[in-house]
Amino acid sequence: MEYAKPLAAHRTAIDGLLLFDVPVHGDNRGWFKENWQREKMLAAGLADFGPVQNNISFNAATGTTRGIHAEPWDKYISVATGTVFGAWVDLREGPGFGTLVTAELDPATAVFVPAGVGNAFQTLADGTAYTYLVNAHWSPDAAYSFLNLADPTVNVPWPIPLAHAELSEKDKNHPFLADVTPVRGKKTLVLGAGGQLGRALADAYDGDPRVEFAPRRTLDLAGPDAFDAIDWTGYDTVINAAAYTSVDAAETPAGRAAAWAVNATAVAALARACTAHRITLVHLSSDYVFDGTVPVHGEDEPLSPLGVYGQAKAAGDTAAATVPRHYLVRTSWVIGDGNNFVKTMAGLAARGIRPAVVNDQHGRLTFATDLAHGIRHLLDANAPYGTYNLTNDGPAQTWADIAADVYELLGHPRTSVTGTSTAEYFAGKPDTAPRPRHSTLDLAKITATGFAPPPAARRLAEYLDSLNHNAGTGA
């Protein structure tokens, strides 16, 4: 054993399997080491995997051999006394299936084994104590996967031949690789699958079986036990595209209760579940969490909502931000598959109506397709957790500007649209929510991750073309 090696992580041929050099300090009395120290291990490259249980396997004799077991939790393994030959086989679904990594472990080494990777060891000294942290409590109902220690395809080079080693009868009879069902990875759950963003996410993931969609009709987010029936152990990511979005109705007594139930209380419950199960939460935020008194909003601007909808969304944002692994995606003026402002203006243009449209609210359109692809980019790129603004790019416009663009692109004069103030437009209409005058979001942070939102003007033209095409085909 080598003393005082610096703490260091080493990648291996198995994705996520890390070998560690662990500093051990010795003198005439013996030795001491920090077996696992969260802050230092994070800095060395180990994910904050959230251990909840510590197990020790004592092995009296040299040649004791255990495994190959793949469990549904992550493990951080080290040796307290003695030496082992470790063998790890990737049993997860994917191109790495069957990959073998081996290494000798003593008190100055450790290994992080991701869920679904088969783990085995053979002791090379009497009285070996093998210790490991796991990030889920042991359960008799947990789903395991096993591989035979003598599998000829993987061909583990055991230092002590298995015929002379100490094995359990169960380990002798585990299946060979050809008969092992690959361990499926955890899934992504999309809440609010029936909305404009939910439908765009379905297109973005294009039938990926690892992504499940829960429409609102099957999950009552306003209910007191909305998430009780969900088995969270099968998911590593939740995209919360569900929300109460009736901005004006939220100003009524019934709407106020519904807005807070869905946009705040349910999000707090979801955040607790994601934290408890180490799930990444993607939560959709809104420009309505700001009062709109500054022309462009950055991610770090303090929350300052004006109306009930914005207040409930701000409360939900605060809850979502407590999840260690979270992406808070703030957007505005979403246009997708469903009823929306652009479709309404196109319909008015087709009927020859000359509308008066608000001209003192400023912002950018967000096309649901680009919003969905931006969310997928954050996840696929493993972008740093935190808050990201995500809209389409281009100059800020008013609703009247956008309406005039719609008319012009459809062959009507821009002058068909006249401007009016927010106060004039809503005069005499009860239960009207206050609107932020400026909703433009700074896109520098999302762009720095490698995602460049397309210009809103280009997407508007393409969207109107799609509406014309669908109208022509009867779709």
DSSP for 270-290 reads HHHHHHHTT-EEEEEEEGGGS
DSSP, collapsed to helix, strand or coil, labels residue 468 as helix
Q: CB–CB of 329/419 below 8 Å?
A: no
**Confidence at residue 234, expressed as pLDDT on a 0 to 100 scale:** 85
Residue of 69, 174, 277, 373 marked active site:
69
Distance between CA atoms of residues 89 and 370, nearest Å: 39
The tokens of 82 are what?
């003695």
Phi then psi for residue 213, to 5 deg, are -120, 130
3-state secondary structure of 315: helix
Q: Is the dihedral of CA 416, 422, 424, 430 positive or negative?
A: positive
Catalytic option among 132, 288, 309, 327 = 132
The answer to whether the CB of 198 falls within 8 A of the CB of 241 is yes
- Ordered by start, the domain boundaries in the chain are 8-179, 187-473
CATH T-level topology, domain 187-473: Rossmann fold (3.40.50)
Q: Which residues pair with 109 in a beta bridge?
A: 21
Instruction: Tally DSSP H helices, then E strands, for the chain.
Output: 12, 27
Give the model's pLDDT for residue 471: 61
317 in helix, strand or coil? helix
Q: How many Å apart are CA 115 and CA 144, to the nearest integer?
A: 10
Question: Over the stretch 179-210, which tens digit does the pLDDT of each residue have?
Answer: 999 998 889 999 998 899 999 999 999 989 89
Nearest Cα to 68, choosing from 90, 49, 83, 53? 90
Contact 392, 346 (CB under 8 A): no
What's the fold here for domain 8-179?
Jelly Rolls (2.60.120)
> Helix, strand or coil for residue 161?
coil
132 tagged catalytic: yes
pLDDT in the model for residue 133: 95
How far, in Å, are 179, 226, 380, 384, 429 from residue 327 at the CA level?
Answer: 39, 22, 12, 8, 37
Residue 468 buriedness (CB in 10 A; 0-12 / 13-18 / 19+): middle
314-355, pLDDT tens digit by residue?
A: 999 999 999 999 999 999 999 999 899 999 999 999 999 999
Structure tokens at 436: 């932020």
pLDDT value of residue 428: 85
**pLDDT for res 231:** 84
Residues of the chain with pLDDT under 50: none
The two domains 8-179 and 187-473 share their CATH topology (first three levels equal): no
